[in-house]
Amino acid sequence: MIASSPRLIFEAMETRHAPHFYALNNDPQVMQYFPSTLDHAATDAFIARVMAHRAAHGFGLETVFLADTGAFAGFIGLLTADFAAPFTPAVEIGWRLMPQVWGRGLAPEGARAALAFGFGELGLEEIVSFTAKSNIASIRVMQKIGMHHRPEDDFDHPALAAGDRLRRHVLYRMRAADFENFSHINET
């Protein structure tokens, strides 16, 4: 489990969280950089996949709540990426937050906690993150948490058809040593 951060509490994703995720995954603004919103059945399948991933790998995406109010904020966590791409298999960091909490620095805060868990507790050597090239907000989070981008790593997501507006993706990476150095620099 990812350790709580100053403003976020993490919980393993479970079926009891489904009502929260129905709202998150069905919000067109939240899902604008995904092929579509997710209905109840697709959200249930998503939660089942995350739970199965945690059972198989010992980590996964985690449900996030605001520490001060207990309000649902979304999810942040780690997941294996095993689709056909030059950088896979890999462990990916990801997040999806409710619009009500956007712009407060919660995604970078939670992502740093997830990176600390991945590099510290799990002993990972590298964590990646990727998104549609047009998703400037998520790219900015990747930059804020110290991940590195090389344009030659960008790729066409194989799950999206040629010509799809979201097919071209950027890839950001972080190695364990880079995280340690970045963390020390930002503590001073």
pLDDT tens digits along 12-68: 999 999 999 999 999 999 999 999 999 999 999 999 999 999 999 999 999 999 999
Q: Is the pLDDT of residue 1 over 60?
A: yes
Residues in the chain: 188
* pLDDT at 143 (0 to 100): 97
* Phi then psi dihedrals of residue 121, to 5 deg: -70, -40
Establish if 161 belongs to a structural domain: yes
* pLDDT at 2 (0 to 100): 95
> Is the torsion defined by CA of 59, 144, 131, 70 positive or negative?
positive
Output the pTM of the full model: 0.94
Q: Is the pLDDT of residue 120 over 60?
A: yes
Percentage with pLDDT > 90 across the chain: 95
SS3 content of the chain, % helix, strand, coil (to 5): 40, 25, 35
Which CATH number fits the domain that encloses residue 76?
3.40.630.30
Residue 98 belongs to domain spanning: 8-187
Establish if 2 belongs to a structural domain: no
Q: Is the pLDDT of residue 185 over 50?
A: no
pLDDT tens per residue across span 155-180: 999 999 999 999 999 999 999 999 98
Establish if 151 belongs to a structural domain: yes
Q: What SS3 state is found at 184? A: helix
What is the total count of domains within the chain? Answer: 1
Establish if 3 belongs to a structural domain: no
Distance from C-alpha of 117 to C-alpha of 111, rounded to nearest angstrom: 10
Question: What is the pLDDT confidence band of residue 4, given thresholds at 50, 70 and 90?
Answer: very high
Establish if 1 belongs to a structural domain: no
16 vs 10, 13, 65, CA distance in Å?
Answer: 14, 8, 14
Distance from C-alpha of 107 to C-alpha of 116, rounded to nearest angstrom: 14
